[in-house]
Amino acid sequence: MAEGAKYNAQELYDRLKAATAPESLLKKHLTPQVFAETKDLVSKFKGTLADCIRSGCMNPDSGVGVYACDPDAYTTFAALLNPVIKDYHKVDKLEHPKPDFGDTNNLGFGDLDPSGNMIVSTRVRVGRSHASYGFPPVLTLEDRVDMEKKTVKCLETLTEDLAGEYCPLTGMTKEKQAELTADHFLFNDSDRFLREAGGYNDWPTGRGIFFAKNKKFLVWVNEEDHLRFISMQMGGNLGEVYTRLVKAIKQLESSGLDFAKKDELGYLTFCPSNLGTTLRASVHIKIPKLAAEPDFKKFCDDLHIQARGIHGEHTESVGGVYDISNKRRLGLTEIQAVQEMRAGVEAVIKREKELAGK
Ligand code: ADP
Ligand code: DAR
């Protein structure tokens, strides 16, 4: 069990207030008034404020710091989650459009780096949550096993280039896990923020990965979210990667699973940074000159893009290669989120070439 599991909401809040690390969105928005208003509330899945804030209080260096303990937390703990959501997604009002993936036969974009000199690989993912289950802090081992069974049954309906095989983590050798993780296919249990939020409870039971035969479409089962649908390939052909994901989403959305959503928040996820479209489109791209610029973070912020390391969030870049992706997922459609990422990546490529004197 995570270290912070023994602390109640007051003890967690006291730790948060005493911390001197840079201000997380949790610290910014869990005011004394919001704390007083929410500290004794309990969600429909029996989740508590402590369940939502534990990770950010035990990890003061969090960026967001708060998770929804379950889908109902977005209603029960709205006094805290709503200001966090508005702040992260840079919106003044909580409203979200109906899903719109655009016309994949006429996207207007394809390979963002035809030369192949800069973009190593491209990935687009969305998250989905089973409507009738909680999130990690309130999930039981039986819940995860039930969700895994329901998910695998749905994945077995995938056809054509999306058809494939499910590999549970239980029974997978450490060597196989290390190989798949190094190749950026598989997740592991190394994220301390997620650990403190209950993300690794009963690990590895109920977790696994689905691979299409060509390994360009994957589904993560019970990592941070109940489901992550992932399309990825080497090179910079964002058009192909995105089109494949949209085809998979449409097949999986019609397979009978009931996904958690709210009109004004779109699809619901464990972390409030991911809800709405839940879409993160990323490239691993070589930008040693731009990344060395003092204003690199402001350059990204102004374009609503985010730079990460190449082995997942909270990791470092390697050899000047960064993970560049869209930051906003709420208040815009799926095609708008991908277009925002495309425009950001094109600006990054242009700036890197200018700095390299090309
Ligand atoms: P997410 O929240 O989208 O899962 P993470 O930062 O946790 O993002 O990354 C998850 C995994 O996906 C990591 O192993 C990371 O290296 C890999 N990944 C993300 N973007 C790309 C990309 N464009 N190409 C290859 N692997 C990627
Ligand atoms: N640990 C959280 C994560 C923020 C967003 N990333 C997610 N959900 N994977 C933090 O506050 O840093």
pLDDT single digits (tens) 116-127: 999 999 999 999
Q: What pLDDT is recorded for position 300?
A: 98
Q: What is the pLDDT of residues 294-319, one digit of tens each?
A: 999 999 999 999 999 998 887 888 88
Please tell me the residue having the least CA distance from ligand 1 atom 11: 312
How far, in Å, CA of 232 to CA of 241, rounded? 6
Write down the pLDDT at residue 254: 87
Instruction: Label residue 180 by pLDDT band (50, 70, 90).
Output: confident
DSSP string, 170-217: TT--HHHHHHHHHTT----S--HHHHHTTTTTTTTTT-EEEEETTSSE
Pocket of ligand 2 contains residue 237 by CB under 6 Å = no
Structure confidence at residue 312 (pLDDT): 80
- pLDDT given for residue 79 in this prediction: 98
pLDDT at 2 > cutoff 80: no
Task: Tell whether 342 is in a known binding site.
Answer: no
Does the Cβ of 96 fall within 6 Å of ligand 1? Answer: no
Structure tokens at 222: 């019970």
Q: What is the dihedral of CA 235, 238, 243, 246, to 10 degrees?
A: 110
Return the pLDDT at 244.
98
What pLDDT was estimated at residue 74? Answer: 98
In this model, does residue 3 exceed pLDDT 80? no
Q: What does the pLDDT read at residue 22? A: 86
Residue % of the chain over a pLDDT of 70: 100
Ligand 2 atom 1, closest CA = 193
**Residue to mutate (ligand 2; options 55, 87, 273, 325; most atoms within 8 A of CB):** 273
Q: What does pLDDT average to over the chain? A: 95
User: How sure is the predictor about 174, in pLDDT bands with cuts at 50, 70 and 90?
Assistant: confident
Chain centroid to CA 179: how far?
A: 22
Interhelix angle 238-253/334-355, rounded to 10 degrees, is 160
Distance CA 38, CA 50 (A): 10
Cα 180 to Cα 174, 186, 188, 230, 337: the distances in Å are: 10, 5, 10, 14, 28
For residue 182, pLDDT over 90 is answered with no
Confidence of residue 21 (pLDDT cuts 50, 70, 90): confident
Which domains, and CATH codes, for the chain?
A: 3-89 (1.10.135.10), 119-355 (3.30.590.10)
Please state the separation of Cα 280 from the chain's center in Å.
7
